[in-house]
Amino acid sequence: MSFDRESDKFRTFGRAKGRPLSPHMQTIWDSAFPRLKWDMAAPLPEGELWLEIGFGGAEHLLWQAEHHPDIHLVGAEPFLNGVAKAVRGAYDSDLENLSLHHGDVRDLLEALPNASLTKIFILFPDPWPKSRHHKRRLLRSKFIAELHRVLKPGGELRFASDIIHYVDWTLSRLKRHGGWDFTHTENSDWRVRGDDWPGTRYEAKAGREGRPCHYFKFTKLEKT
């Protein structure tokens, strides 16, 4: 079942725009973004389809696209300047396997058919730390159910955060859902990134400020 967006109107992200794009970047945007823009009405690409939600500065998104030319990667990000970084990176590297959605990922998910993705990345989402803002957190029960719907059986969800309260929040809701297999067996498994999981500038900032990062992998189970 897809989102009931009428009952899920809370904004899950902060600002959507920062500094104006430079004239040079605006020229690249005007040239490249129409080609990169994800068309939610078009047939899905053949082969594996991966999704990164809230890709920030696009370091991880671009790395994955460059290192996996045989898959198609979609990045969803509401912040214009972050999308511009992805556009610039795709333009500079001439990436053909990357699409971008500038906006709320819930609109993109709603348009996807069941079991259409093989991997989803959610890295360092906004933790909305104040109690009155918890309703704006991305990884709520409805959203987790939607992620489960669009993943193929055995598909992978990767989640990272440097906020332990948000980690606990997310793990409890994934467990409550009942459709996820926690693939880690040792505490050290979720303290270290794998070789296929590059770092981001936000992760580096968390390290400088003394906040340990946590990295998780889950696989989709069929609910019984």
Q: In this predicted structure, what is the pLDDT of residue 11?
A: 47
Whether 69 is covered by a domain: the verdict is yes
Whether 128 is covered by a domain: the verdict is yes
Q: Whole-model pTM?
A: 0.88
Whether 5 is covered by a domain: the verdict is no
**CATH code of the domain containing 89:** 3.40.50.150
Whether 107 is covered by a domain: the verdict is yes
Whether 8 is covered by a domain: the verdict is no
Whether 79 is covered by a domain: the verdict is yes
Q: Domain count for the chain, please give it.
A: 1
Q: What is the pLDDT of residues 68-110, one digit of tens each?
A: 999 999 999 998 999 999 999 999 999 999 999 999 999 999 9
With residue 90 as reference, give the H or E element that holds it: helix 80-93
Q: Which domain holds residue 118?
A: 18-220
Q: What is the pLDDT of residues 51-76, one digit of tens each?
A: 999 999 999 999 999 999 999 999 99
Whether 86 is covered by a domain: the verdict is yes
Q: Choose among 116, 89, 100: nearest CA to 39.
A: 100
Task: List the catalytic residues.
Answer: 126
Whether 1 is covered by a domain: the verdict is no
